[in-house]
Copies of this chain bind each other. A is one copy, B any other.
Amino acid sequence: MLLESLREEVLRANQEIARRGLAPHTFGNASGVDRSSDKPLVVIKPSGVDYAALTAADLVVTDLDGNIVEGALRPSSDLDTHTLLYREFPQIGGIVHTHSEFATAWAQACRAIPCFGTTHADYFHGPVPVTDPLTAEEVASDYVGNTGAVIVRCFRSAKLDPVAVPGVLVAGHAPFTWGKNPAEAVEHADVLEYIARLAFRSVVLGAPDDGIPSHVSEYHHLRKHGPKATYGQR
């Protein structure tokens, strides 16, 4: 069985999605990529399988174009979104898609999440962006691939760095997050849900649409992520 340790990481990330309540039923999925060879391999959840029943052997291995390399089950129906993101964002090693309650509500309202506080600034540099809705043509021609395409377009047009902004809301759908590996991707999915929840209530309480002043959000982001980071044990 190829890629044993990556399979274990992807299995754990999928289990974390369920354990943290980020996706009820079989909604949601996690994947990881091994870029150590010329032909990178993606490990992803199979489609429509319960989290509780999932094993490492059930996971599906594909190449970066989504061709199945190993696995008896059909891969997640969102596979082509994952592979496109791995091709376009070479810095990332894991992707998580959830339907978590508050992040999905923002996605369904087609609104980016402004940075209202330091909880947000510690993880996301600026607002959590929202994509354009898919057009009728994009849906008809290649829905799943074009979901990846609108994410990439969103980042390119706003000149966003996928390392500093480790996730996005797909309009009318739900969030995707990523990280250097599957474990970090699922941590970002969990933090994004928390940020979305705080921001929902801040909006109801009348927080200004443009969030906190940028000098605070810049400071907080850089104290965790910049070259002069002072947070944690380093």
- Where the two chains meet, the residues of A that have a C-beta atom closer than 8 Å to any C-beta of B are 24-27, 46-49, 73-74, 77, 99, 101-102, 104-111, 116-119, 133-136, 139-140, 143, 172-174, 187, 190-191, 194, 197-207, 212-213, 215-216, 219, 223, 230-234
Contact = CB atoms under 8 A, between A and B. Distances in A.
A85 B198 CA distance: 26
16 contacts: A24-B194, A25-B191, A104-B198, A105-B205, A106-B205, A108-B212, A109-B207, A133-B212, A133-B213, A135-B215, A136-B215, A139-B216, A143-B223, A200-B201, A200-B205, A204-B204
B136 A47 contact: no
Contacts of A99: 119, 198
B117 A108 contact: yes
B140 A108 contact: no
B77 A230 contact: yes
Contacts of A199: 108
Given A108-B116, A117-B174, A174-B118, A134 B198 contact: no
Contacts of A118: 172-174
A73 B233 contact: yes
A132 B63 CA distance: 53
Contacts of A190: 24-25
Contact of A198 (B101, B119, B198): B101
